[in-house]
A and B are shown apart, each in its own frame.
Chain A
Amino acid sequence: MDWSEFIAMDGYGLYVWGAYGITFFILLLMLVTTWIGSRS
């Protein structure tokens, strides 16, 4: 599988990368809020 195929994900790229993107955004939010809380 080359890079463009990997991004395209057989035409489902928006959904797959959208899912991974929102997952890591929320995980990052949890990390940041935990860190801010521990520093306050």
Chain B
Amino acid sequence: MFGYANSLKFEKLSKALIGILAVASAILFPLGLYYGLLGSPDDYQQSQTVRIMYVHVPAAWTALFCYMSMAGAGLMHIIWRHTVAGLYIRAACGLGAGFTAICLITGSLWGAKMWGTWWVWDARLTSVLILFFLYLGIIALKDAFDNPERGTTACAWLSVIGAVNIPIIKFSVDWWNTLHQPASLTSPSKMLNPAMTNEFIIPLLIMAAAYMTLFGCLVLIRTRTEIRLRKEMVKNMRSVQHGLV
């Protein structure tokens, strides 16, 4: 990890990974959509609305993973002044906000029919909404300072502090009496004995892999863009200094 504080090393690795992740994503999305829309049955209670699960749940998982990765990068930036980690936060925040928006909107559409309401202030929905606001806060902070490095450090701090929301989101359905259903797959008791059959699990996992590979590809491209912008900024500053001297 510390080797990749060297942006040249990061750029070399990311160039190779972007292609692999893009191809993987391009294969997994159609496969997941086929199995999700055509290859899996409807649910005996939820009928065809169960198919919303294949876009809603992977978006939620990706949004949570994105924030956890930003929190980890935030720690690396704060403690070790890891430059690329700081630029990663700037790159990932927009994507995280997008995946959280997908989760909230698709969840609302699903709930409108299943729960009879577009929104309810239960623990899970409220904590995911807070996650969305955290992402928006980081997006606003990153360019709020004249010195971009100060903005990056502020984003790192917000990413780390906001990480307290992640276990709240995860365990909200266990800690409180929520309308949102409990975990069907990702709790320790459910992993060996899931509450869904393979006909639902397989397309769900394929779509989750599609989302994650797409996220990986886009975040690497965006981080490379941030590195390039930072290098250009430093180059311009040096030109101005040499011009003055």
Take A9-B48, A16-B52 as given contacts and tell me if A22 and B106 are in contact as well, using a CB distance cutoff of 8 Å.
Answer: yes
Inside 8 A of A12's CB, which chain B residues have their CB?
47-49, 113
Inside 8 A of B200's CB, which chain A residues have their CB?
none
Asked if A38 is an interface residue, CB under 8 A from chain B, the answer is: yes
A26 touches B101 (CB 8 A): yes
A16 touches B221 (CB 8 A): no
Asked if B160 is an interface residue, CB under 8 A from chain A, the answer is: no
Inside 8 A of A10's CB, which chain B residues have their CB?
42, 47-48
A19 touches B105 (CB 8 A): yes
- Give the bracket for the number of chain B residues in contact with chain A: 20 to 34
What is the total number of residues of chain A having a CB less than 8 Å from a CB of chain B?
A: 24
- Measured CA separation A18–B56 after assembly (Å): 12
- Measured CA separation A35–B217 after assembly (Å): 11
* Main SS at interface, chain B: helix
Inside 8 A of A1's CB, which chain B residues have their CB?
38
Residues 109-141 of chain B, each 1 if its beta carbon lies under 8 Å from chain A, else 0: 110110000000000000000000000000000
Take A15-B49, A16-B49 as given contacts and tell me if A23 and B218 are in contact as well, using a CB distance cutoff of 8 Å.
Answer: no
Asked if B82 is an interface residue, CB under 8 A from chain A, the answer is: no
B102 touches A22 (CB 8 A): yes
Tell me the smallest distance from the CB of B93 to a CB of chain A, in Å: 12
Inside 8 A of B109's CB, which chain A residues have their CB?
15, 18-19, 22
Asked if B98 is an interface residue, CB under 8 A from chain A, the answer is: yes
Q: Pick the contact of B56 from A9, A13, A19, A29 — CB < 8 Å? A: A19
- Measured CA separation A22–B102 after assembly (Å): 7
Take A15-B49, A15-B110, A23-B59 as given contacts and tell me if A34 and B101 are in contact as well, using a CB distance cutoff of 8 Å.
Answer: no
Asked if B77 is an interface residue, CB under 8 A from chain A, the answer is: no
A37 touches B56 (CB 8 A): no
- Measured CA separation A15–B214 after assembly (Å): 24
Q: In the A-B complex, list the 6 residue pairs whose CB atoms are closest, starting with the nearest.
A: A9-B48, A19-B106, A23-B55, A19-B52, A19-B109, A10-B48
What is B's interface to A at a CB cutoff of 8 Å? 37-38, 42, 47-49, 51-52, 55-56, 59, 94-95, 98, 101-102, 105-106, 109-110, 112-113, 214, 218, 221-222, 224-225
Can you list 8 A-B contacts (CB < 8 A)? A15-B52, A19-B55, A19-B56, A19-B106, A19-B109, A23-B102, A23-B106, A26-B101
Q: A12-B49, A37-B222 are in contact. List 15 more A-B contacts (CB 8 A).
A: A1-B38, A6-B37, A10-B47, A15-B110, A16-B48, A19-B110, A20-B55, A22-B106, A22-B109, A23-B59, A26-B98, A27-B98, A29-B98, A34-B225, A35-B221
